[in-house]
């Protein structure tokens, strides 16, 4: 985990929604016939397929939806919706349709509430807590809830064997973070950021690193790219150099 870095992508105006990016690095690629076979097998037996059928059954039950007017086949809860998206992304990795995905957990400026978090405040309003202790505690609950969606993906990757015999989490780098350090002030300094997985053996993990004040997050990104073998890159965004992992 990395804290104290300066910038993250311009994802949202507030500090709750995070971006999860996963990159799969194993080099072996199945043949076109093998790819089709893997895709069909995964589609028949995957969690994504089971969840989709459950959503369809729920949509047709006649019960009122949590989100009135949502498109058909939309999961009724945010947790289920996120898990369905993770299921589909894992399916795409398993079938080698893609090796990179980016996933944004919410829309900028949304007034949506997340009752699964234990608080009912609107997303756009809660980050502007005015340094009120009670509102900060509620905002922390909302942040904790959003972060709690990530282990579902990590466990799914851990439970999936790749074609080299290692787990898919061993062969993947998952990036997760927020663009705001203090959203009450729209302050993008000292933002939280973590990397999970081992990137095909390139990343150790199990460490908590604190960056110096003013360190651009792009320094971390550049060092990550170097760790993954892209040593010909000399800069990334507004990077000022690399970041030491030790």
Each residue of 162-201: pLDDT tens digit? 888 899 999 999 999 888 888 888 877 888 888 999 998 8
Query: So what's the pLDDT on residue 41?
Result: 43
Mean pLDDT, all residues of the chain: 77
Euclidean distance between CA atoms 135 and 79, whole angstroms: 23
Output the CA–CA distances (angstroms, integers) from residue 72 to 56, 57, 69, in the order listed.
8, 11, 9
Write out pLDDT tens, residues 4-35: 333 222 222 234 445 556 676 654 444 333 33
Lowest mean pLDDT among 68-77, 168-177, 181-190, 228-237: 68-77
Lowest mean pLDDT among 50-54, 61-65, 103-107, 129-133: 61-65
Contact 108, 124 (CB under 8 A): no
| Structural domain spans, the chain | 2-29+96-227
Query: So what's the pLDDT on residue 241?
Result: 94
Query: So what's the pLDDT on residue 125?
Result: 85
The mean per-residue pLDDT over the stretch 46-71 comes to: 65
Q: Which helix (H) or strand (E) holds 5?
A: strand 2-5
Q: Is 113 exposed, middle or buried (0-12, 13-18, 19+ CB in 10 A)?
A: middle
Euclidean distance between CA atoms 228 and 222, whole angstroms: 10
The mean per-residue pLDDT over the stretch 111-139 comes to: 88
- Give the pLDDT band (50/70/90) at residue 205: confident
Query: So what's the pLDDT on residue 245?
Result: 76
Write out pLDDT tens, residues 46-55: 666 776 677 6
The mean per-residue pLDDT over the stretch 200-217 comes to: 88
Euclidean distance between CA atoms 105 and 215, whole angstroms: 25
Write out pLDDT tens, residues 81-101: 899 889 988 988 888 888 888
Query: So what's the pLDDT on residue 35?
Result: 38
Helix/strand/coil for 92:
helix
Query: So what's the pLDDT on residue 180?
Result: 80
Q: Are strands 19-24 and 172-177 parallel, antiparallel or unpaired?
A: antiparallel
Query: So what's the pLDDT on residue 4?
Result: 39
Contact 25, 85 (CB under 8 A): no
Q: pTM for the full model?
A: 0.78
CA dihedral 84, 9, 101, 89 (to 10 degrees): -10
Query: So what's the pLDDT on residue 134?
Result: 92
- Give the pLDDT band (50/70/90) at residue 111: confident
DSSP code at position 9: -
Higher pLDDT, 43 or 33: 43
Q: What residues contact residue 96 under an 8 Å CB cut-off, 6+ apart?
A: 29, 30, 35, 38
């Amino acid at each position: 985990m990395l804290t104290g870095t300066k910038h993250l992508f311009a994802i949202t105006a507030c500090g709750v929604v995070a971006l999860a990016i996963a990159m799969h690095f194993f080099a072996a690629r199945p043949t076109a016939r093998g790819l089709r076979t893997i895709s069909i097998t995964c589609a028949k037996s995957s969690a994504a397929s089971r969840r989709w059928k459950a959503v369809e059954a729920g949509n047709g039950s006649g019960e009122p939806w949590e989100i009135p007017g949502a498109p058909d086949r939309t999961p009724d809860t945010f947790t289920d919706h996120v898990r369905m998206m993770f299921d589909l992304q894992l399916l795409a990795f398993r079938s080698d349709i893609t090796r990179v995905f980016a996933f944004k957990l919410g829309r900028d400026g949304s007034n949506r509430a997340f009752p699964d978090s234990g608080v009912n405040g609107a997303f756009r309003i809660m980050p502007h807590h005015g340094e009120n202790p009670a509102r900060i505690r509620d905002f922390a609950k909302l942040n904790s809830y959003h972060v709690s969606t990530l282990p579902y993906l990590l466990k799914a990757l851990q439970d999936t064997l790749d074609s080299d015999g290692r787990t898919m989490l061993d062969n993947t780098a998952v990036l997760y973070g927020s663009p705001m350090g203090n959203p009450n002030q729209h302050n993008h300094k000292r933002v939280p950021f973590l990397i999970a997985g081992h990137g095909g053996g390139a990343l150790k993990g199990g460490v908590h690193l604190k960056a110096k004040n003013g360190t651009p997050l792009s320094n971390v990104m550049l060092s990550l790219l170097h760790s993954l073998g892209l040593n010909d890159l000399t800069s990334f965004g507004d990077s000022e150099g690399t970041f030491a992992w030790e």
